Amino acid sequence: MKKTITHAAALVLLIIFMGCEKHIDYLAKRDFLNDDNARLKINYMSLYALNPSVQLSLNGERVSGLILGRTPFPGGGYNTNGSNYADYLSVMPGTNTLKISIPKKSTNVDSVVLFTTTLSVEGTKAYTAHVTDTLTNTKVKLVEDSMGVAPVNLSKYRFLNLMPNVPSIDLYYGTTKVASAIPYLGYSPYFYVDVPVTALAWTIREAGTLPTSTALATYTSANVHISTRVYSIFAVGYKGSAAANTKPYVSFNLTN
């Protein structure tokens, strides 16, 4: 059976003594999935200029270590600050409270709570909570994920617009538009792309602009064209920003 990380598990404390200082890492315990539970991934895309390290908590328990903006947790994807695994948290069906906070140094005690919300999930289903924007403008879009694999020699995708200052976005693969006019916090239906011999560029542009117009962002990698895999593609960041922490990106999240 596949192992997933459960938010209800105890935290493991690793204390490393360095002179008079001590450092504590908080780790969520891995456990076997309860088939009646829901699966949940938190796609943390709140891009602060200073990019503070934050912790994620579910129902009052810390479930992550310190993560940065543009990090799907657990697991991750490509062109993100996360890992490259298709992991989910195992959560109880019903209402779960998500909290994102900056902790006090070397503790899991909240110093600044950045965002709190509730997520309603059904047992046996998989979800991603896409978190975007900052401070009082922070928004979350809870989306049910498809857990079935794509056919052989095809990859399966869905595109989300998580860019707060771009009302509508087109997504291109090479010169082909594969998702059109996706509004902020909206998402496209799933679509398929043949696994290519040579990977082409994924490009995001403001909806209605020419395919030859300046792109908001591009990304090219053979890792996002693997046969039978399912991905969420998302546009994130702020149009007009050139800073690494806040500029536009087109990134990929792994579903399986």
CB 234 within 8 A of CB 248: no
For residues 244, 202, 77 and 154, what is the CA-based torsion angle, rounded to 10 degrees?
180
Residue appearing with tokens 């996002």 = 224
Dihedral sign (CA 162, 165, 166, 167)? positive
* Whether residue 181 sits in one domain with residue 87: no
* Whether residue 182 sits in one domain with residue 108: no
User: Which of 145, 164, 181 lies at the terminal end of a domain, its last residue?
Assistant: 145
Specify the pTM: 0.85
Alpha-helical runs (H) found in the chain: none
pLDDT tens, position by position, 26-71? 444 444 456 799 999 999 999 999 999 999 999 999 999 999 999 9
d(CA 66, CA 55): 5
pLDDT tens, position by position, 142-188? 999 998 899 999 999 999 999 999 999 999 999 999 999 999 999 99
* Whether residue 5 sits in one domain with residue 121: yes
* Whole-number pLDDT of residue 198: 93
Domain that holds residue 188: 148-256
pLDDT tens, position by position, 126-144? 999 999 999 999 999 999 9
